Amino acid sequence: TSAQADRTDRHAALARSARRVGSAMASAAHQKGDPYRYGAAGPNAFDCSGLTYYAFHRAGFRHLPRTSSAQAHFARHIKRSAMHRGDLIFFTGSGGVYHVGLYVGMVRGHRWVLHAPYSGTRVRAEPLWTDHWFAGTLRYR
């Protein structure tokens, strides 16, 4: 039936975008150790949104915006319990979204993020340090 074909097509599209998210995560992980530089989007230095922009563009997500705030508007917001490796974590403060990273997964009972933290640091994975964040995904894009 037509409805069955639509479901099959949606399932295949979701599987493709999930593979692309996995590819983006692998690309971002490959950047571990690269220095943070404000405004940089790779390939050898990154700011937080530059890292996500670079990784997702390499994985074929051509419409992802450049800044963390614009990325937060672009991504589909999801519940924390629905997160998968490679989803986005958007950090919030009084001025809105100020930082973004990629969800690594649970490590010893804590959620971990892969990100380009701030000036003087390098791309790295570490446990979340705050509860002021929300999850977003590109798995449906």
Starting at the edge strand found earlier in the chain, the sheet holding 88-93 runs 76-78, 133-137, 88-93, 96-107, 110-115, 124-127
Alpha carbon distance 141, 139 (integer Å)? 6
| Residue 86: Cβ within 10 Å count | 27
Which residues are bridge partners to 107 per DSSP? 110
Q: Which member of 11, 30, 115, 132 is catalytic?
A: 115
Residue 48 falls in the annotated catalytic set: yes
Q: Which member of 11, 48, 77, 84 is catalytic?
A: 48
Local structure of residue 80 (DSSP, 8 states): G
Residue 57 falls in the annotated catalytic set: no
Residue 30 falls in the annotated catalytic set: no
Q: Which member of 30, 57, 73, 99 is catalytic?
A: 99
Site of tokens 């405004």: 39
Alpha carbon distance 98, 103 (integer Å)? 16
Phi, psi of 59 (to 5 degrees): -90, 0
Q: Mind telling me the catalytic residues?
A: 48, 99, 115
